[in-house]
Amino acid sequence: NAGVMQNPRHLVRRRGQEARLRCSPMKGHSHVYWYRQLPEEGLKFMVYLQKENIIDESGMPKERFSAEFPKEGPSILRIQQVVRGDSAAYFCASSKMSAGGTGELFFGEGSRLTVL
Amino acid sequence: GEDVEQSLFLSVREGDSSVINCTYTDSSSTYLYWYKQEPGAGLQLLTYIFSNMDMKQDQRLTVLLNKKDKHLSLRIADTQTGDSAIYFCAEVSPNFNKFYFGSGTKLNVKP
């Protein structure tokens, strides 16, 4: 009964490199959310995906950031040409939406990206 | 729904009650939540309240909801050192597309 699994837990990149963060939702969950947490700040919504569909990406920067949730495999948050301002903790959460459900989000432990 | 506000810090003594406050903006939110984040970890759901309720009690936790003022509070009775963490309140958009989180209240429990 694994929870939401994120990897890597820590990632160091140099400016200009690419970062790929992976998230496997809880078993039976088909809704995935990505959030970013800057040091000493709250969580900022980035994107909400269902299998093979981006439902809401209004929180994603328009350039360099992309997300996917393929039919098979984990959800991936991809950051191209990273800059120092991308350094943050990126959290994935999954949910099992069902009629009458409470929409509870289950969070992974986060991937901490450091850009040198 | 984006302006969920919380005070940043709260310090209490072990055994006292803690009250963490939150104001939210979206009156159409169906559920409001309290999450707990321990250092280096993800968020864990503590409790939630349905928007047509005024109060919910769950062991040491009491949630109060004032819909008129869009004010949510979390009371922790008999606070323990293990309760030291960051507490986030959150609201969800009616279609569950977005969960909006406050900036978190860092609770420090002194022995």
Give A93 to chain B, closest Cα distance, Å: 9
- B1 pLDDT above the threshold of 60: no
pLDDT digits (tens, 9 = 90+) for B23-68: 998 777 778 999 999 988 889 999 999 888 899 999 999 999 999 9
- A99 pLDDT above the threshold of 50: no
Strand partners, B56: B63
> Is the model more confident about A17 or about A31?
A17
- A100 pLDDT above the threshold of 90: no
Q: Do B43 and A91 touch (CB under 8 A)?
A: yes
Per-residue pLDDT band at A32 (split at 50, 70, 90)? very high
Would you state the structure tokens that stand for residue B85, as one six-digit string? 């963490």
pLDDT digits (tens, 9 = 90+) for B36-48: 999 888 899 999 9
Query: For residue B101, which residues of chain A lie inside 8 Å, CB to CB?
Result: 35, 42-44
Q: Is A104 on the interface with B (CB under 8 A)?
A: yes
Place of tokens 């509070």: B73
Please compute the mean of the pLDDT values over residues A54-81 and round it to a whole number.
94
**Dist CA B14 CA B79 (whole Å):** 5
Element (DSSP H or E) covering residue A5: strand A5-7
